Chains A and B, each alone.
Chain A
Amino acid sequence: MAATTLQARSTRSKTPRRIQESRSDRIFTVVNYIVLTLLLLVILYPLTFIASASISDPDAVSSGRVWLWPVDINFNGYETIFNHKPIVRGFANSLFYVAVGTTLNLTLTLLAAYPLSRRDLVGRHWFMLLFVFTMMFSGGLIPTYLVVHDLGLLNTRWALILPTALAVWNVIITRTYYQVTIPHELLEAARIDGCDDFRFFWSIVLPLSKPIIAVNVLFYAVGHWNQFFNALIYLTNEELFPLQLVLREILIQSSIDPTMADAAELARRRELRDLLKYCLIVVASIPPLLAYPFVQKQFVKGIMIGSLKG
């Protein structure tokens, strides 16, 4: 009898069993979940409110009837935005900067990170110093501005692409990634087969770089989409303004082209102005927010590898 119960127990223990948690652990877990849920709500609330407000009747928003759900749904705000030329132009410009800028960024970052990850690169130490020093000390705002000026890039599209063509932080992460994932034996084997560095990089390293490419693309693209200060100081031609600069004028300095509003009363105008702000916030945030889930899997993998060695 004892033998059979023993046997029964040993087969039972093969199935996964919840470890019995002590009471303090259970309290901890409950508190943990509660706190995290609260955090979730706090972070989520402003976003949902703004999304709701953007499709609600402006009256309802300003009188405080909108707390969470939209009231009197209408899409007037969005219509107005998409008809407003500076906004559409800004959107298109930003897309350009993101596309061209990220491509350049990615190219330069990979071109820099791979050689730096090779142990047999003569002078590697000095090159790293060259790169890392720029993270610790910089010329500052004015000298950089003067360089851009001297290069004749002021008020051109390139002023938003070239000065930020490479982020050393990304180079470091990518380099670490290569150090961890490209084993030396792979290189040796390829060498024996007569493969040179270029070929090795192109045919072997690049296909293996998918996670770190995702990480870089995400960082750079979002950086380009969100940038406004460089545009502020380097551009005066409105045709070249990225979206964020246009947003700044509307959202923060509250200057709207009067032909945009179609109402006469001041109060109505103010409500409309607020409505437009809500819609603008939603429109400007959606592209980056949408991009994230798509690259998330590769991104998490890349971050883990890239960050472990600092």
Chain B
Amino acid sequence: MVTLLRRPDAHRESVAEQLQRPRTTTWRRARNCWQLYLMLLLPVVYLLIFHYWPMYGLQIAFKNYNVVQGITGSPWVGFSHFERFIESFMFWPVIRNTIILHSYELLVGFPLPIILALALNQVRLRWFKRSVQMITYAPYFISTVVVVGMLVVLLDPRTGLLNNLLGLFGLGPLDFLSDPSYFRHLYVWSSVWQNLGFGSVIYLATLSSIDPQLHEAAIVDGASRVKRIWHIDLPGIMPVAVIMLILNIGSILSIGFEKVLLMQNSLNLSTSEVIDTYVYKIGLAAEVPQYSYAAAIGLFRSVVGLILLVIANQIARRFARSSLW
């Protein structure tokens, strides 16, 4: 089982053992670690300032925050922001877009790196394997801005490559980027293009650590490659795959919205407006930023994400014996 928090060597001392061990109290042992604590100081301070202080600031979701009165001085309004959001006409479209987009991305983007890793693992020619790896990793390092920029130039209705191609077959030029019905496909498949190679790294690493004796035994037993993949490789990467899946599901309401933001335009908003872009729009980009309202929506999203994460983890623990903690 993959564990992050639990100490694998935790051991409950019996009373007899406690009486027998030398009197190094926890306090004394802690004092011996002072140098380690000192090392931890800076990172912990960073965490407190940039991760935990904002959590304290989350309370503005329950207030009407204004800069003059500050966080503590602003008036309390309870859940009114949440009610307002749920009843607003943007609620269902935004939630629906977010869920559909993320589910689509998960459905497509989760299995493909696994398949790639399984396929690559079967390649014997070293140079071929290396080349495929290098080339499929490359798009990951290209920035989101550049990838969307590529989409913009390649899909341009007048000069773009794709439309020129379509023109060869006599199909009219399509304005892909302005059409809401294409948005999801463009988003998901360009994400696949970018992340496929890199996403397979972790699976390849796991596959290469599978005991080769298992494979040798299977070959001796006459198993075909396909059978070996199904019975040895897949179960071998299952724990890792499940963890990745849990993490993905847990972030269901927080898609990499930078890319959505870049691909959005006023024409495709009906499918492209997701929670985070909406929060950005009304919280920061608006002429009169509504900090509290935006913060409330953000909190809503974080809480739902956390709940989903826990649920997904419980299900995984029950069925796949694999857990995040």
Taking the complex as formed, is B142 at the interface, i.e. its CB lies under 8 A from any CB of chain A? yes
Q: Is the CB–CB distance between A39 and B116 below 8 Å?
A: yes
Of the listed stretches A77-85, A123-131, A206-214, chain B binds: A123-131
Residue positions of B touching A, CB distance < 8 A: 2-5, 7, 9, 26, 29-30, 33, 35-37, 39-40, 42-44, 46-47, 49-58, 60, 71, 116, 119-120, 122-124, 128, 131-132, 134-139, 141-146, 148-150, 152-154, 156, 158-159, 161, 164, 167, 193, 196-197, 201-202, 205-206, 208-209, 219, 224-226, 240, 243, 250, 258, 261-262, 276, 279-280, 283-284, 291, 294-295, 298-299, 301-303, 305-306, 309
8 nearest A-B pairs in the assembled complex, by CB-CB distance: A139-B54, A140-B298, A251-B149, A226-B143, A310-B2, A143-B57, A112-B43, A143-B54
B interface SS class: helix
Q: Is the CB–CB distance between A222 and B123 below 8 Å?
A: no
Q: Is the CB–CB distance between A310 and B4 below 8 Å?
A: yes
Contacts of A172 in B (CB 8 A): 4
For the complex, what is the distance from the CA of A270 to the CA of B50, rounded to whole Å? 44
Q: Is the CB–CB distance between B132 and A252 below 8 Å?
A: no
CB distance from B278 to the nearest CB of A (A): 11
Closest to B203 in A: A307
Contacts of A92 in B (CB 8 A): none
Q: Is the CB–CB distance between B57 and A139 below 8 Å?
A: yes
For the complex, what is the distance from the CA of A227 to the CA of B128, rounded to whole Å? 32
Of the listed stretches A7-15, A257-265, A276-284, chain B binds: A276-284
12 contacts between A and B (CB under 8 A): A24-B224, A28-B225, A29-B122, A46-B150, A115-B40, A139-B53, A140-B299, A141-B298, A145-B283, A222-B141, A274-B159, A291-B141
Known: A36-B123, A143-B58. 19 other contacts (CB 8 A): A32-B119, A32-B122, A40-B135, A46-B193, A47-B139, A62-B159, A114-B39, A121-B33, A123-B30, A136-B306, A139-B51, A143-B56, A146-B57, A198-B39, A247-B145, A248-B262, A251-B153, A285-B141, A307-B240
Contacts of B128 in A (CB 8 A): 33, 36
Q: A147 contacts which of B49, B143, B276 (Cβ < 8 Å)? A: B49
Taking the complex as formed, is A289 at the interface, i.e. its CB lies under 8 A from any CB of chain B? yes
Q: Is the CB–CB distance between A28 and B197 below 8 Å?
A: no
Contacts of A252 in B (CB 8 A): 145, 148-149, 152, 262
Q: Is the CB–CB distance between B29 and A140 below 8 Å?
A: no
CB distance from A68 to the nearest CB of B (A): 11
Within 8 A of B (CB), among A106-142: 107-109, 111-112, 114-116, 118-125, 127-132, 134, 136-142
Closest to B129 in A: A36
CB distance from B90 to the nearest CB of A (A): 17
Contacts of A138 in B (CB 8 A): 51, 54-55, 302
Closest to B156 in A: A274
Contacts of B209 in A (CB 8 A): 304, 308
Taking the complex as formed, is A294 at the interface, i.e. its CB lies under 8 A from any CB of chain B? no
Q: Is the CB–CB distance between A162 and B132 below 8 Å?
A: no
Contacts of B294 in A (CB 8 A): 141-142
Known interface pairs A142-B295, A144-B54; A43-B202 also in contact (CB < 8 Å): no
Q: Is the CB–CB distance between B50 and A39 below 8 Å?
A: no
Known interface pairs A49-B161, A248-B262; A143-B148 also in contact (CB < 8 Å): no
Q: Is the CB–CB distance between A303 and B205 below 8 Å?
A: yes
Contacts of A225 in B (CB 8 A): 143
For the complex, what is the distance from the CA of A286 to the CA of B37, rounded to whole Å? 41
Q: A171 contacts which of B43, B135, B201, B302 (Cβ < 8 Å)? A: B43
Taking the complex as formed, is A72 at the interface, i.e. its CB lies under 8 A from any CB of chain B? no
Contacts of B36 in A (CB 8 A): 114-115, 118, 121, 197
With a 10 A CB-CB cut-off, give which of B56, B71, B120, B159 has the most chain A CB atoms. B159
